[in-house]
Structure 1
Amino acid sequence: MLTFANPLHYPLAVLAGGVVLAIAVRVARLPSPIAIPLAGVVTVASATVLKQKESQPRPTLQNPALERELQQVRQQAQLIAQKAESLRSESEKLALATTEMELLSTIQFACDRALELPSKIDQFSQRLHGTDSLLSVTDLQQQLQEVEAKKTNSSGVARQQLQQLATSLKHNITLARQGEDARQAQVIALATLITDTAGVLQQLQNRLRTSNLEDTQAVEELRSLSTELAGFQDNMALFLS
């Protein structure tokens, strides 16, 4: 029996409904009595589909410790998505009362990337469950080369992040060469990145709530946090690619 899901538990569903509403009103020029129910239907339907996907049994790894780490990563990703949805909503409201559209657009883009994180974690999880589940040295070396290339053009916090990522990848390469399962180390490193991302996202939300966007210094601090957040997201993209 089909049961409908609460869209508030699924940020991607809320985002889908918002996009449909914007297109219906601004592009299709539909009247509100039609556009709003249409967006509501899309939101609820999207949430229901996501709920059904969650309810499907996941294949289990032959490694209980790895399974626990992976479940924690999934939960962290969901929390980040929820916080990103909240931050995006706040930035949209501020956009009506400020000229700092570039900054707010950057923040909204970062939030959109964060909203995609749960689905990317699911895809990553599926790869770990695959028949060739042990990470290959070749794949890890390719990731390391990409990190080292980015590191040469980075500085400050971004360079520190990339150095930590490179160290983790080198450790995983050593494990893989020894024939050991490097997946748990990979998931732990990803969990660290997600935790750091959540911290910066929270700082960004706190600062956005209290900052005067007419103050140049406050705007620069927000830009700096946005750049730091983008760095963590880029590093996660390397892990999840």
Structure 2
Amino acid sequence: NYFAGYGFNKSHSTAYAYLAYRTAYLKAHYPSHFLAALLTSEAERGVTSQVARYINECEALGIKILPPDINESDFNFTVVKGDIRFGLSAVKNVGEGSVRALIEAREKRGKFTSLFDICEVADSKVLNRKVIESLIKAGALDSLGWRRSQMFHLVDKVIEYAHEMQEIKSSKQSFLFGSGQIEPPPIPPEVEEMPEWDESLTLSYEKDALGLYITGHPLAKFGKQLKRLISQPISQLDEEKDFNSEIRVARI
């Protein structure tokens, strides 16, 4: 009681109560915006377990989590008609410079129409092989109309094509100033027909690029059996008060 008299004064507790009231109000009346802000905060901190936890909470509230999309996503998580769209900054190996460059190019010239289109307009310094592969693995290029397997197979050829296009742009500038010759434009690489990755590989790559699964989960087919075996997901174990309790873990 003596410590309580000076260690946690009323002004301090009032500030905490006010903060709790405001956040509770936002969650109750603007759940999508509130959770989008939380997801952005945890993604910036790199706490994947918390991102997964809040995504589960979104699903429990009936809020859909839309995958990252090169033509629709912003830098951070955003609200789209009550649902939440993944931000491009949440994709691993895609730094802030790359995301800013892609969004700026999209805003200047409109939506991207192909993988060649992206590589042609973006600076190769910020859009390298690792960035492109991570975007493909995350499903951020699905809206371009090709299978992920096809785009992944084309990465090297696309980068080479984009490099040639950049050289042609430079030669045009030299020609305008009275030097150099204009080279004919290169022919875009042919997109080979091939099957899409199987579900296991698709999910594995999503986990690599996002730190979690978006389009499904390897354990989804065993949902009923798991409910009988476990009581809660691993992401909630930090809330466990009884440190002597026994824990059963299920995974593939």
TM-score bracket, normalised by the shorter chain, equals under 0.3
Q: Taking structure 2 as the reference length, what is the TM-score of the superposition?
A: 0.27
Question: Per chain length, whose mean CA-contact separation is higher, i.e. which structure has more relative contact order (CA < 8 Å, sep 6+)?
Answer: 1
Q: Taking structure 1 as the reference length, what is the TM-score of the superposition?
A: 0.28
Structure (1/2) with the larger helix percentage: 1
